[in-house]
Amino acid sequence: MTTTPRILSIAGSDSSGGAGIQADIKTIAMLGGYAMTAITAVTAQNSLGVQAVETCEADFVGAQIDACLEDIGADAIKIGMLGSPTIAAVVAERLARFGGKVVFDPVMIATSGSVLADEATIEGFAQIMEHATVVTPNLPELAALTGLPVASTEEIVEAALVLARARDVVVLAKGGHDEGEEVIDRVVSPDGKVASFAHQRIETRHTHGTGCTLSAALATMLGHGQPLTHAVRLARQFTYEAIARAPGYGSGHGPLGHQAVRRSE
């Protein structure tokens, strides 16, 4: 028997290692989890952008999920880039049978600005959120999912609450795209409870994979059995330290320094 939490990441592969499956594996491992993967798409990308994408067949994605869950099992699932509406449907069907902790990062656009989800795939996000424990949109994603403005604190909370109640899911609205000296993330529950988490903004261009890292860290902390609010706090701390320790690679939006973060810090 082991106390190592089993975390399944369902996401796309980033050839440069900064985001997606690669960022998830690094995060999960550094936080004491056992990482498994179901790859939805293979991308050719780097700090400058996404040059090419090959989406996997939906049945193959389902087979990867089944192979992991039927043998090793999972304590939590993290979902990132889906790649197509048919993949979204297959993933949702597996989630309905899973019944455990699920963190959904509704990836639409890469840090570089490359589009990673078309309108049909975004429509498929609804069936994923029906089975999620937490959904982690950034502000542009929150606006796209709700059709509401997110220019002020009140608007962000209102949009997050609308999404939380519509899907009966906790919403972690990430504030990195907002302006100001602090980054403020807000956790909004369907019952209207709001918790805010803030840290000083790090002025850096090395933020590739930040959303992937945060959601993977959150899934790992939930897999460890941490209560949601504390899991968010720990996941944010890991992500902040990874940004602060970025190795400086790439001439665009560079990767984080996952390998430099130690759990004792």
- Domain CATH number, residue 68: 3.40.1190.20
CA distance 51 to 14: 11
Comparing C-alpha atoms, which of 136, 132, 159 is closest to residue 146? 159
Instruction: Give residue 117's pLDDT.
Output: 76
Contacts of 82 by beta carbon, 8 Å cutoff, 6+ apart: 10, 40, 88, 91, 107, 117, 121, 124, 125, 128
Q: Helices 228-244 and 210-223, interaxial angle, to 10°?
A: 140
60 in a structural domain: yes
177 in a structural domain: no
CA distance 117 to 265: 36
10 in a structural domain: yes
Instruction: Give residue 109's pLDDT.
Output: 76
pLDDT digits (tens, 9 = 90+) for 21-69: 999 999 999 999 999 999 999 999 999 999 999 999 999 999 999 999 9
181 in a structural domain: no
Instruction: Give residue 112's pLDDT.
Output: 65
Q: Which amino acids are annotated catalytic? A: 174, 207, 209-212
Instruction: Give residue 262's pLDDT.
Output: 81
Instruction: Give residue 120's pLDDT.
Output: 86
Mean pLDDT to the nearest integer, 108-121:
75
44 in a structural domain: yes
Instruction: Give residue 264's pLDDT.
Output: 46
pLDDT digits (tens, 9 = 90+) for 83-95: 999 999 999 999 9
pLDDT digits (tens, 9 = 90+) for 197-237: 999 999 999 999 999 999 999 999 999 999 999 999 999 99
Domain count along the chain: 1
165 in a structural domain: no
26 in a structural domain: yes
Range with the lowest mean pLDDT among 54-63, 141-150, 175-184? 175-184
196 in a structural domain: no
Query: Sheet harboring 34-46: ordered strands across?
Result: 49-55, 34-46, 6-14, 76-79, 101-104, 134-135, 170-173, 182-188, 194-200
Q: Give residue 22's domain range.
A: 6-140+206-256
Comparing C-alpha atoms, which of 78, 16, 9, 19 is closest to residue 45? 16
Instruction: Give residue 180's pLDDT.
Output: 82
